[in-house]
Structure 1
Amino acid sequence: MESLSLADLPGGDNFRDVTSIFVDAAAEMESGDLILRDGFTLQDAMSAFEIGEPRLDSGMAGDADPRAPFDIWAPLLPEEICWIIDRSFTLEMLWHAGNTLAHTVFTCLYALVASELHPDMLPYGLPNDALRPVQLIPVVLRASICGMLKCCDLSWRELSKGHVHDTEDWQSDKGDTSLLEGMSVQNVIATLDGAAAWLVRSRKVPDPWATALVARLNLRKALLQIMDANIFKAPSDFLDLINIARNHLKTVRAYPSPDLGPESTAHLAFDPYIARKLNSTVPIRVIDVPSVTKMWHSIDVLLDGWEEQRLLSLTANVSTWELVGHLRTWLPSPPLRTPYSRSSTQSVFYDGLLVLNKFNLTWVMDRFFFETLGVSYQSVFHFVDRNSQSQRPPPWSDIQRGALQGMSFLMTEYIRALWYNPCRRRRFFMKSLVDLHIYYTRLTDIAANLPPDLPSTNVMKHLPACALVWRLSVIREVILSGFQLELYTSEEKPFAYWYAAQVMDAHLACLDDMLLAVEPDSLAARELRFQHSLLSALQAMAMPMFALSMPLMSFAWRQMYANFLRRYKWAFGRGYELSLVPVVAAPNFDNFTDLCGRMLQDKTFSPSDSFSLAHSILVQLIDSRAVGGYAGLWTDERIQLLRNLADACQRLQNVPTSMSALPAFDVGLLKWDPQIHPWFPVLEPEGAEQRRNKHVRRAEPYPS
């Protein structure tokens, strides 16, 4: 092999030997000594060299963008203080949106030196400027910064309970920086009150800036009081605090901070690269700071979340909690709450000991039977205990001790899971299906030991249906959430719609049986009737979508079956082997392929008529306002859900009127956009008739 010269090496031959530089620099070090930055270990250095970690260079400040030194006592105009406070609010909302403290809150340099801003530490000799009172920084700005840090501290404590997931929903890394953990809330509130009082009494800050600053301090105080309040001790006081915060927010919006020019020293109060000076292992990322208008909207959403928590804390219907949790995912407005709001909502429902701060887990089971069948848990227990014909020891005792208590815990976790992020929520639902089938099996065993001549109008005959309707609704949500999360490939969508329709069919049959026994005028019966109508409409929408999306399939059955097993592996877990009772509405690929052939030959099925039927059902529900007994204060939002579904039907009204017209249908017209509707597509704006005549894309001939 030919030898390489120095000039042939990568990078050329312009190298200089720098060994002597390192030898001279380490002359005073003993063998084995290391020089390490605080928080940066030898293991970190070795890992960085090994994998090319960008954090290795995060501490280096380049010369291209030099920063002027930051002076915490540099005098500022009142409008500059307003601007700094508003930007601090914005950074706090960015942290709530899932960014790290080092990239948001801590980029405000005043937050890092809050302990040094005390009025007693004000240096002598500062210039006496009437336009820039020296007290603005140690009194007003310090109060606002302390309030922000304390709000972050209270938020951090709530988020660290584990209801939401660190590094997935939020970032817990503090970078060894204080959030005023040792400072009491009352002390911070006193600091905010003192700053507001100084602005009013001293008259050193003229209007409108005095009013603007007082409003911002009062808004911070109200937010801090809400975070520190116990929602169960005084719900009316909690509502008063929310209304006070809204009033202060309205005033703040009426007195906006100005847009500062680049010459203002207020810009030096923020350093987006401050993470290189903190004990943080996260690579530096400069985050675009949104407008102040968007930030105030984020605080509005935060206040809406607290107001909804107050209403939920007064709601003792588990079905209402379930509905609200679903609505937060199904409806685009209001948007999904921040991780802090979702975590605190879960804490309101169950704090690890009590439900709604006053009920034990048995209460959850009692509500489960009452809201499903209209009877109490004790009534069910006594009836089964008296009428069981089993030769063995009464199975109800075992179930009472174990299974049903486990079912109570699962229901509690299920309600909390409704406030997980969408992916975690779906994952929890999939994992819970095995347990739900086991509980259905045990209730089936109990019902089998009841007298055989028990009439179908007796609610006790339908005990297994309690668990079954719950399980079927969870399966439906697992399927439909796949569209909302955009998980399905084009080829998977026909099966998803078909399977959703099969699950709804089983659910409707179950509701038909239950409605024979439930007291017709009870809340449970009204809710069951609403669910029956809603499921009928959804099924009437799912079946035509199955037919319309069939051209998206390749009809390579072997590959499609392999994809089916991967997508629906949650339906074939080993836990089902523990039960002798067949799984209701299990996904069946063979039934799907058989129906595909029959559907193509069906001359009576009309996708267009099916959407029209669904639309009429939904409109009747909306007009009658028969939206069920458990919607409560969220009736309008449930009606909005129905309107969204009705709009989806209207957007799809120009689909083929028969299956014979399907081969000429341009399947490219169907566009799935979760921002428009989470489950169903729309037709392109040009209109179905016009695009169909163009024949831009036709379905391939179907295999026999």
Structure 2
Amino acid sequence: MQNLAIDELPGGDNFSDVTSIFIDAAAHMEPGGLILREGFTLQDAMSAFEIGEPRLDSGMVVEEEERPPFDVWAPLLPQEICWIIDRSFSYEMLWHAGNPLAHTVFTCLYALVISEMHADVLPYGLDHDALRPPQLIPVVLRASICGLLKCCDLSWRELSKGHVHDAEDWQSDKGDTSLLEGMSVQNVIIGLDVATNWLLKSKKVPDPWVTALVARLNLRKALLQTIDANIFKSTSVFLDLINIARNHLKTVRTYPSPNLAPTSAAHLAFDPYIARTLNSTVPIRVIDVPPITETWDAIDALLDGWEEQQLLSQTFNVSTWELAGNLRVWLPNPPLRIPYIRSSTQSVFYDGLLVLNKYNPTWVMDRFFFETLGVSYQSVIQFVEQNTQSTRPQPWADLQRGHFKLMTEYIRALWYNPCRRRRYFMKALVDLHIYYTRLMAVTSTMPDLQSTHIMKHIPACALVWRLSVVREVVLSGFQLELYTSEEKPFAYWYASQVIEAHLACLDDMLLAVQPDCLADREMRFQHSFLTALQAMTIPMFALSMPLMSFAWQQMHANFLRRYKWAFGRGYDLSSVPAVAAPDFDNFTNVCGRMLQDETFSPSDSFKFAQSILTPLIESRSAGGYAGLWTDERIQLLRNLVGACQRLQDVPSSMAEMPSFDVGLLKWDPQINPWFPVLESEGAERRRNVHVRRAET
């Protein structure tokens, strides 16, 4: 090919070396620093791939990230095998916590070459080392990694049902990498048994590490069997598997994970940057592995979730299911279950065909009326049909279908993540109101009944359900830290109004329900609980009023945005107004009256609430449907008593409010989901002020 003349070169030859200019300009920059010009866009960031910017180009390998080639057959000590297995458990729990597989499980390089790890393909010429038996890799480590991948596969199948949200609760991206979808669970279990037998019989591994490795293999086997078990086929077997796993976990804790030298070959078994070689679009993120004790705690929490799931599968009161779901959010301990447990719990309740694996929609309707009023669905139908004054047939079929859809979706939503849970509740409020108005229409065809007649309160069943959901929507805003300081007074005031409507409804229903039945005991507990809760929300409304700017126009605009769920178009379909709808105008009037109320005492209100809650705790009267969750419901009451005690040093009258420092109120959902704490030194100052005033 003929060479080009210099004057024919594209762009000419008038180039100058400007390297020194850039060196001088960057002299004062820190290593790794980055300067972005004004208007830096996504297009500019994407073009960095072409220039090899390591923070944006996942395919670029910088010097400190270079690793020697991975040798799947590199001999390993038993303690190194133990360390790899423990670390794989950690990455599995990190995946369950919501991280991608490419950043957790698949960083174990053995998981990517599992198809090559067979004992019959051991390469010839391996150095004979009595301390590093070659069978440790194709027998022991392979069995453990297969168990890991199969556990992830079965978990992935449950999570992919859509009960929890991909990319929000969990990450479904497999990066085109196998989770042993084609291998049966039984084959994996056989491999684990073979590995256990080899460790026990070969005598090639020292005793301490034999026990440690066998315990880890048995733990993996028990976890796999539990994931694969049908909870309804044999609940006793399911519970036995959980107990077996607990015993193996206890043994694993007794034989802690070894501390390896930095030069150990086991460290090469994990590559945190492996995502660059997988078909993954997620940017690489190196996840710090927590201490191994946190991993065992996470597995213990997983077993707790399964145990609660087993108890729920034998619980046939829908109200108890509702309580259990609420307690998981209201109580900080135990923490929220991992997405896998929350998804499988929803599947246990309703699999898309039957409730609790055997009940049809009629059963759900029957439980609703029985648990609320103590009457059966059939008795409701019979009474209405016999006493209706309408010639038109009642829409029982439509009511049943609508109720079944509402109930199953509502119970499932109790196991959503807190944000999704609240969002679903807000959307469901319209349907609950429509359901309430339809029950009102049914009862309107009957003659007027006495307030002591149970059938008069049929619509109230839907109303108390809806009011409890409204209360949860409002109070969950504190737990999720959604409210600005200016929004908190209205939230507390509105919560008290919703509770007031709920209490009025319970007062009417208690006149008719049969005394001392389960529904009666539950209602009486709810009445006491809500009375105490109202006695706490009203003083919080008064105490938080100084947080407001009293710029009513701006506050009203914020109110409309925050409570838009209460003014949706769906309410226009009903001629019956929504009960306890938020009313900003009423709120502004109440603010003025509260500031002038000389008889109201915030501190006495908290003491009154405590006087209601304490007897409930001491008598352990947790209502009719608490069941096996009685202790946790009592713990909720204790937490509320603790909130009352922390707030008893607030002003004793509204006259003292000008001297109260509202900045001392600190909201921390980890202490209490709904109410703040009063800072200790602030509480001490309040006590001193009270003493000085008493002396004066």
Same fold (TM over 0.5): yes
1:484 corresponds to 2:479:
yes
Task: Name the counterpart of 2:166.
Answer: 166
Alpha-carbon distance between aligned partners in 1 of 2:58 and 2:572, rounded to the nearest angstrom: 54
Post-superposition Cα deviations, 1:483-538, rounded to whole Å, max 9, x if no partner, equal 00000000000000000000000000000000001001110000000000000000
Deviation at 1:694, TM superposition (A): 9.2
Contact 2:49 2:56 in 1 (8 A): no
Task: Name the counterpart of 2:694.
Answer: none
Match of 2:466 among 463, 471, 491: 471
Task: Name the counterpart of 1:402.
Answer: 398
Aligned 1:623-642 pairs, distance under 5 A: 623-642=618-637
Instruction: Say if 1:692 and 1:612 are closer, same or farther in 2 by CA, change over 3 A.
Output: closer
Alpha-carbon distance between aligned partners in 1 of 2:370 and 2:17, rounded to the nearest angstrom: 84
Alpha-carbon distance between aligned partners in 2 of 1:437 and 1:282, rounded to the nearest angstrom: 43
Task: Name the counterpart of 1:388.
Answer: 388
TM-score norm. by structure 1 comes to 0.91
Read off the aligned partner of 1:625 and give its amino acid letter. Answer: R
Match of 2:579 among 578, 581, 584: 584
TM-score norm. by structure 2 comes to 0.92
Alpha-carbon distance between aligned partners in 2 of 1:46 and 1:540, rounded to the nearest angstrom: 58
Contact 1:6 1:13 in 2 (8 A): no
Task: Name the counterpart of 1:197.
Answer: 197
Alpha-carbon distance between aligned partners in 2 of 1:298 and 1:344, rounded to the nearest angstrom: 17
Aligned 1:425-574 pairs, distance under 5 A: 425-452=421-448, 454-574=449-569
Alpha-carbon distance between aligned partners in 2 of 1:277 and 1:694, rounded to the nearest angstrom: 67
Aligned 1:16-35 pairs, distance under 5 A: none
Task: Name the counterpart of 1:654.
Answer: 649
Contact 2:432 2:466 in 1 (8 A): yes
Read off the aligned partner of 1:393 and give its amino acid letter. Answer: R
Task: Name the counterpart of 2:244.
Answer: 244
Instruction: Say if 1:418 and 1:11 are closer, same or farther in 2 by CA, change over 3 A.
Output: farther
Alpha-carbon distance between aligned partners in 1 of 2:420 and 2:433, rounded to the nearest angstrom: 21
Read off the aligned partner of 2:668 and give its amino acid letter. Answer: D
Read off the aligned partner of 1:212 and give its amino acid letter. Answer: A
What SS is found at the alignment partner of 1:496?
helix
Percent identity for Structure 1 against Structure 2:
77
Task: Name the counterpart of 1:675.
Answer: 670
Contact 2:649 2:686 in 1 (8 A): no
Alpha-carbon distance between aligned partners in 2 of 1:641 and 1:496, rounded to the nearest angstrom: 21
Contact 1:55 1:281 in 2 (8 A): no
Alpha-carbon distance between aligned partners in 2 of 1:8 and 1:495, rounded to the nearest angstrom: 67
The runs of at least 4 aligned residues of structure 1 exceeding 3 Å deviation read 5-14, 44-56, 691-695
Task: Name the counterpart of 1:145.
Answer: 145
Deviation at 1:620, TM superposition (A): 1.2
What SS is found at the alignment partner of 1:549?
helix
Match of 1:610 among 605, 610, 628: 605
Contact 1:94 1:104 in 2 (8 A): yes
Instruction: Say if 1:631 and 1:282 are closer, same or farther in 2 by CA, change over 3 A.
Output: same
Deviation at 1:11, TM superposition (A): 9.5
Deviation at 1:457, TM superposition (A): 1.2
Task: Name the counterpart of 2:27.
Answer: none
Task: Name the counterpart of 1:17.
Answer: none
Contact 1:192 1:221 in 2 (8 A): yes
Instruction: Say if 1:13 and 1:113 are closer, same or farther in 2 by CA, change over 3 A.
Output: closer
Q: How many residues align?
A: 657
Instruction: Say if 1:8 and 1:682 are closer, same or farther in 2 by CA, change over 3 A.
Output: farther
What SS is found at the alignment partner of 1:690?
helix
Read off the aligned partner of 1:511 and give its amino acid letter. Answer: L
Alpha-carbon distance between aligned partners in 2 of 1:585 and 1:9, rounded to the nearest angstrom: 73
Deviation at 1:241, TM superposition (A): 0.4
Task: Name the counterpart of 1:356.
Answer: 356
Task: Name the counterpart of 2:79.
Answer: 79
Task: Name the counterpart of 2:343.
Answer: 343
Post-superposition Cα deviations, 1:86-123, rounded to whole Å, max 9, x if no partner, equal 00000000000000000000000001001110111111
Instruction: Say if 1:442 and 1:147 are closer, same or farther in 2 by CA, change over 3 A.
Output: same
What SS is found at the alignment partner of 1:668?
helix
Deviation at 1:388, TM superposition (A): 0.7
Alpha-carbon distance between aligned partners in 1 of 2:308 and 2:501, rounded to the nearest angstrom: 34
Alpha-carbon distance between aligned partners in 2 of 1:255 and 1:528, rounded to the nearest angstrom: 51
Deviation at 1:403, TM superposition (A): 2.7
Give RMSD over aligned pairs.
2.0
What SS is found at the alignment partner of 2:63?
coil
Deviation at 1:611, TM superposition (A): 0.4
Alpha-carbon distance between aligned partners in 1 of 2:204 and 2:606, rounded to the nearest angstrom: 68
Deviation at 1:10, TM superposition (A): 11
Deviation at 1:70, TM superposition (A): 1.3
Alpha-carbon distance between aligned partners in 1 of 2:401 and 2:22, rounded to the nearest angstrom: 76
Alpha-carbon distance between aligned partners in 2 of 1:103 and 1:11, rounded to the nearest angstrom: 40
Alpha-carbon distance between aligned partners in 1 of 2:213 and 2:523, rounded to the nearest angstrom: 54
Contact 2:373 2:461 in 1 (8 A): yes
Task: Name the counterpart of 1:35.
Answer: none
- Give 5+ residue unaligned stretches, structure 2: 1-13, 24-41, 691-696
Alpha-carbon distance between aligned partners in 2 of 1:321 and 1:511, rounded to the nearest angstrom: 21
Aligned 1:208-357 pairs, distance under 5 A: 208-357=208-357
Alpha-carbon distance between aligned partners in 1 of 2:22 and 2:419, rounded to the nearest angstrom: 54
Deviation at 1:68, TM superposition (A): 1.8
Deviation at 1:54, TM superposition (A): 7.9
Deviation at 1:65, TM superposition (A): 3.5
Alpha-carbon distance between aligned partners in 2 of 1:56 and 1:638, rounded to the nearest angstrom: 50
What SS is found at the alignment partner of 1:577?
helix
Instruction: Say if 1:447 and 1:310 are closer, same or farther in 2 by CA, change over 3 A.
Output: same
Contact 1:55 1:282 in 2 (8 A): no
Contact 2:54 2:62 in 1 (8 A): no
Instruction: Say if 1:385 and 1:167 are closer, same or farther in 2 by CA, change over 3 A.
Output: same
- Give 5+ residue unaligned stretches, structure 1: 15-43, 696-704
Alpha-carbon distance between aligned partners in 2 of 1:568 and 1:383, rounded to the nearest angstrom: 39
Read off the aligned partner of 2:247 and give its amino acid letter. Answer: N
What SS is found at the alignment partner of 1:64?
helix
Deviation at 1:361, TM superposition (A): 1.9
Instruction: Say if 1:373 and 1:64 are closer, same or farther in 2 by CA, change over 3 A.
Output: same
Contact 1:239 1:310 in 2 (8 A): yes
Aligned 1:364-383 pairs, distance under 5 A: 364-383=364-383
Deviation at 1:51, TM superposition (A): 10
Read off the aligned partner of 2:658 and give its amino acid letter. Answer: P
Post-superposition Cα deviations, 1:198-247, rounded to whole Å, max 9, x if no partner, equal 01111111110001101100000000000000000000000100000000
Deviation at 1:56, TM superposition (A): 6.2
Match of 2:683 among 673, 688, 692: 688
